[in-house]
Amino acid sequence: MIDEILDRSRRAVRQGPPVGDDGYRRYCLAFADEIKQAWPAVLAANAQDVAAAAGRGLAASLLDLIRLRPGDLPSVIDCAEAVAAEAAGLGSTTAEAGAWGIRRRYPRPLGVILMVHEARPLLTAEAALLPVAAGNAVLVHGGPEITGTARVLGEVARTALAAAGLPAGLVTMLEPADRATLRHLLTRADAVDAVLPRESRALIDYCRSTARPPVIASGRGFNHLYVHGSADPVLAAAIVLDSKAPNPSMCNSLQVVLADRAIAADLLDGVLATADANRMPITVRADPALGRRSGSGGWWRVEELTASDFGREFLTATVGFQPVDGLEQAIEHIHRYGSAHTDGVVTGDDTVARRFVEAVDSAAVVVNGSLRMHDAPTLGWGRELTLSSGRTHVRGPVTIGALLTHSWVIEAGGGLRDVHPAGSSAAAVRKE
């Protein structure tokens, strides 16, 4: 059964039109139209999934992840329409000419992508859109808790594919979505070209340690913000809070503030005052050297920072606060405990900013801004599937363009290797 699914997916990639073909744009728009019509059925299936999960005693927090709401429909439609617009611009090639002929960089889909996630049905919809818009076939392995919802979303995708004239095998909702199926697929480097795990750290770590195909995923977000003594204290306090409080469990959220020792206590006071003024709940784990503080207004709490907090992801609105003796000690701390995901510096000194950027090799380095700026829509790059902290293929936001590879097309015009020795120069690059 799995072999048949994998064969069908590979055939669908080969039979699909070239990257940038209008069929992919039409598919996304058809998906938007179909989901509007099918939304009552999607909600009904989702209600059954939630009821079944509740009957098995799943925690309320997990039930909340599984549950769709009527207001989720506009976000799915917005995603489909945005991806449709992005798909239309993917087919361009670049060409260079020289004595050896013309060489073109020709876009290709990655191939068959295994998309793995757990309980959030909206991720199933995204998985049916972004990879396919770049010409890939996607195998969606969601959690067993949302099997019914995924089945209806799969029907929406199949109807949209047919309406756009694309192969049905470009989208497959895997059933059963169990651990045995996942384990097998993670061994199939012969048939799966990339694995994209999302949601829990445990799932991502499992895929990273087990998969034979390449894994594109967010690593752990041990993210730091260094505040230099020249920083504007009001701006620094605002950046600390915006980097954590609104979405504390996201992979690009702040974990530890490293502040120059001379300003650390005042900065901490500024963060707490700003939290009070903006009614933003925050827990700060502060180095004991910064002194004790009592709560005010119930919006913040100060606890003691310990060595075990370094290299730890606080998935709640909690942030560590550590004084350092200058830029170089901050860099050394990040090198020791960081995960090369998202790190930042707040400073009024350009030399400090330049040194930090040169020394901290993370997927994103933010200068004088919130770490949550590391986000494709925020940066004008369109929709993203995840943020990759890997060092190959794609680093940072995994947008639709990151789901492509390329071929080199060489129009040699009868040229022979010995006639054109290495080092022949090329003319200007042009887009086609």
Which two three-digit tokens encode residue 208? 């990273």
Q: What is the pLDDT along the chain (432 residues), one digit of tens a residue?
A: 899 999 999 999 999 999 999 999 999 999 999 999 999 999 999 999 999 999 999 888 788 889 998 889 999 999 999 999 999 888 888 888 887 788 889 999 999 999 999 888 999 999 999 999 999 999 999 988 999 999 999 999 999 999 999 999 999 999 877 889 999 999 999 999 999 998 877 888 899 999 999 999 877 789 999 999 999 999 999 999 999 988 887 889 999 999 999 999 999 999 999 999 998 999 999 988 888 777 555 789 888 888 888 988 887 899 999 999 999 999 999 999 998 999 999 999 999 999 999 999 999 999 999 999 999 999 989 899 888 988 888 999 999 999 999 999 999 888 887 776 665 555 555 566
Q: Which CATH number fits domain 224-373: 3.30.70.380, 3.40.1800.10, 3.40.309.10, 3.20.20.140?
A: 3.40.309.10
Give which of 393, 399, 402 is closest to 377, Cα–Cα.
399
Residue ranges of domains in the chain: 2-217+390-406, 224-373
Give which of 242, 245, 240 is closest to 264, Cα–Cα.
240
Listing DSSP states for 197-222 in one string gives E-S-HHHHHHHHHH-SS-B-------
Find all residues with CB under 8 Å of 335, minimum gap 6, and list them: 360
Sort 85 into a burial class: Cβ within 10 Å, 0-12 / 13-18 / 19+. Answer: middle
Q: What is this structure's pTM?
A: 0.85
Which two three-digit tokens encode residue 44? 């009904």
Q: Are 284 and 299 in contact (CB under 8 A)?
A: no
Q: Which CATH number fits domain 2-217+390-406: 3.40.50.970, 3.30.470.10, 3.40.605.10, 3.30.750.210?
A: 3.40.605.10
Tell me the C-alpha distance between 181 and 212, whole Å: 15
Q: Strands 300-304 and 101-109, how do they pair?
A: unpaired
**DSSP-based three-state secondary structure for 15:** helix
Give which of 361, 322, 343 is closest to 251, Cα–Cα.
343
Q: Are 34 and 156 in contact (CB under 8 A)?
A: yes
